[in-house]
Amino acid sequence: MYIAEHEIRSLLHYETLIPAIRQALIDYSSGLVDQPPRMILRAGNADGFKNGWFAVMPVIAGDFIGVKNVTFYPGNAERGLDTHMATIALMRRATGEPLAMMDGRLITEMRTAAVSAVAWAALTPLHFNAPPLSLGILGSGVQAHAHLQALRHVWPQLEEIRIWSRTHAHAERLAANSSEGSPARAVGIEEASAADVVLTVTSSPEPVLHGRHLSPRALVLAVGATGSTLRELDDEVLHGSYLVADARSCVERESGDVRLSGAKVHAEIGEILAHPDAAKIPRDRRIIFKSVGLAIEDLTGARLVWQARTASPGPIR
């Protein structure tokens, strides 16, 4: 069967995705997931950071095999197209039977935000003495919107949202569309960067978050700048922080923030989730959670979609 994005939107929800992603990250760090490095080919369609790429992401976990084919074209935003596009193939592990092919764009969008929500819920009680109240967002695209939705599921105490974008009108639009829950404002980059928690979701080729603007004990959720040559965070942010990764080997291999700064990954989020009492999360310095996206996260989302679709096999309109 083929499952289109409009069906996925009706089947995949953060209420079930966030706890499933939490368990998937524990399984990954526990060695229960067979996930080789993703293969990435540059498209050669443009120069510099607008050069797109194509990646293949296979994984085996539990009763399923998954393969995601994904493209990332930063220049698509100027054309009114999605920067990320993807398909996911889901197969039965025991027999190799193909179960479903599905659009992967929305799954990628939601699982990325769900990972940040899981990390926030795990790191916040270990780092802050009291729940943080303000969120600063650097970026105003698809992931900024998805993170607002996902974080609200785990952060009911959030009181203030500060949004910065290179295009101020885009920040204003996101703030206006975020009327549910905490009030949101379009602000300057320094004010957004000074929040208790800072989310970076840009495709910037050079740092936009600078250590001089950050709170001394901020939590940074670093999601954007996809690629080993791109940066969102400057050296002061990285060298003065305790760095947690979604996957140590993937971040060290694929994150430009980490590779170009020489920063050290201190822990994987799955290790912290499995053994929070043993985690050595400091309370007196900044914390960075850096995610680059894992095939097990895509498989987790695809599995939930397929299970929901087969439980309700009638057409969804």
Q: If you write DSSP's letter for every residue of 13-25 in order, what string do you get?
A: -HHHHHHHHHHHH
pLDDT for 179: 64
Q: 14-29 and 142-154 helices cross at what angle (nearest 10)? A: 90
pLDDT for 220: 98
SS3 56: strand
pLDDT for 82: 83
Let me know if the fold of 2-107+296-311 is the same as that of 114-293: no
pLDDT for 314: 55
Provide CATH code, domain 2-107+296-311. Answer: 3.30.1780.10
Is 62 exposed, middle or buried (CB count within 10 Å of its CB: 0-12, 13-18, 19+)? middle
pLDDT tens, the chain, 317 aa long: 899 999 999 999 999 999 999 999 999 999 999 999 999 898 888 887 788 889 999 999 999 999 999 998 888 888 888 888 999 999 999 999 999 999 999 999 999 999 999 999 999 999 999 989 999 999 999 999 999 999 999 998 899 999 999 999 999 999 998 867 678 999 999 999 999 999 999 988 899 999 999 999 999 999 987 777 889 999 999 999 999 999 999 999 999 999 999 999 999 999 999 999 999 999 999 999 999 999 999 999 999 999 999 997 554 43
Give the whole-angstrom CA distance, residue 90 versus residue 92. 7
pLDDT for 317: 34
**Distances 79 to 34, 66, 176, 307 between C-alpha atoms, Å:** 37, 31, 23, 35
* Sequence letter at residue 164: W
Is 278 exposed, middle or buried (CB count within 10 Å of its CB: 0-12, 13-18, 19+)? exposed
* Sequence letter at residue 195: A
SS3 216: coil
Q: What is the DSSP string of 229-277?
A: T--SB-HHHHHTEEEEESSHHHHHHH-HHHHHHT----EEHHHHHH-GG
pLDDT for 291: 97
CATH topology of domain 114-293: Rossmann fold (3.40.50)
Delimit the domains of the chain by residue range. Answer: 2-107+296-311, 114-293
